[in-house]
């Protein structure tokens, strides 16, 4: 058998050429690795952005649905305030159905996962700031709705209580109405802020959720019997809401 021994290099020029080939190979390998990492990072960034925007779009739909109910909420509070203070107006029937505003869930898990894993740095500073504020407002919106529901639980007693009311009962009912009015105001403030933030990021509400996906019982007439109201809610046959 014959073995071919490597030939010794002759001169610095040949040595430099060999070293240059090795260095070039290493640089090409490092460059390819950086390109692969860059492509992967862009993919992660794109997927993270899609996940967060999808979550925000669902929340915005819930916010949009509650804001659509605002005129019904305001009218009902005015009517019930007068009813508690003065009794039924001019021979109008006693309320049989009070209803309550919607209380749809708000989701912030994806954005929390992004911020807790420091992936929020994948977003530009401006985008990150808007998203931070928007999801903080979503959480405040949910807190507003939860407090609103507590107030309406007291108000719905008017489906069972009948005037004239004693002073203690009237005081409690008026306090619940005032709390509901305050929370409705807070909900509208935070809701409109969230909608505006969504527009800045070009995030539209996902209309597969929120408005139109469930009953809006606060908009049903107070003269409607509870049985009929429940049928309406199950069938989701609702009157038009102010856009």
Decide if 147 is inside a domain. yes
DSSP 175-233: HHHHHHHHHHHHHHHHHHHHHHHHHHTT----TTSSTTSS--GGGS-TTS-HHHHHHHH
Eight-state DSSP code of residue 6: P
Name the domain count of the chain: 1
- The reported pTM is 0.77
Decide if 63 is inside a domain. yes
What is the chain's pLDDT, residue by residue, as a tens digit (243 residues)? 555 555 555 555 665 566 566 666 666 655 555 554 555 555 566 888 899 999 999 999 999 999 999 999 999 999 999 999 988 877 678 899 999 999 988 999 999 988 888 777 778 889 999 999 999 999 999 999 999 999 999 999 999 998 889 999 999 999 999 999 999 999 999 999 999 999 999 999 998 875 554 558 899 999 999 899 888 887 554 443 332
**Which domain covers residue 123, as residue numbers?**
11-235
Decide if 115 is inside a domain. yes
Decide if 241 is inside a domain. no
Decide if 3 is inside a domain. no
Decide if 5 is inside a domain. no
According to the model, what pLDDT value does residue 26 have? 62
Decide if 242 is inside a domain. no
Give the C-alpha separation, 10 to 14, whole Å: 6
Decide if 2 is inside a domain. no
Q: What are the tokens at 33?
A: 């690795």
Neighbour tally for 206: CB within 10 Å: 19
């Amino acid at each position: 058998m014959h073995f071919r021994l490597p030939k010794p290099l002759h001169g610095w020029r040949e040595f430099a050429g060999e070293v240059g080939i090795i260095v070039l190979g290493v640089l090409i390998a490092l460059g390819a690795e950086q390109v692969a990492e860059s492509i992967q990072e862009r993919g992660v960034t794109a997927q993270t952005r899609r996940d967060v925007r999808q979550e925000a779009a669902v929340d915005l739909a819930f916010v949009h649905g509650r804001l659509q109910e605002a005129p019904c909420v305001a009218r009902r509070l005015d009517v019930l305030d007068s009813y508690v203070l003065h009794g039924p107006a001019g021979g109008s029937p006693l309320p049989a159905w009070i209803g309550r505003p919607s209380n749809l869930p708000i989701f912030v898990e994806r954005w929390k996962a992004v911020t807790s894993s420091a992936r929020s740095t994948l977003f530009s500073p401006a985008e990150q700031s808007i998203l931070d504020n928007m999801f903080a407002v979503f959480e405040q919106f949910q807190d507003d709705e939860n407090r609103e529901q507590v107030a309406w639980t007291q108000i719905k007693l008017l489906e069972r209580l009948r005037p004239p009311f004693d002073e203690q009962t009237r005081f409690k009912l008026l306090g619940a109405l005032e709390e509901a009015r305050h929370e409705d105001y807070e909900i509208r403030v935070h809701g409109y802020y969230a909608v505006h933030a969504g527009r800045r990021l070009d995030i539209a509400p996902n209309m597969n959720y929120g408005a139109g996906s469930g009953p809006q019982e606060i908009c049903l007439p107070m003269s409607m019997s509870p049985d009929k109201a429940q049928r309406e809610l199950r069938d989701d046959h609702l009157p038009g809401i102010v856009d």
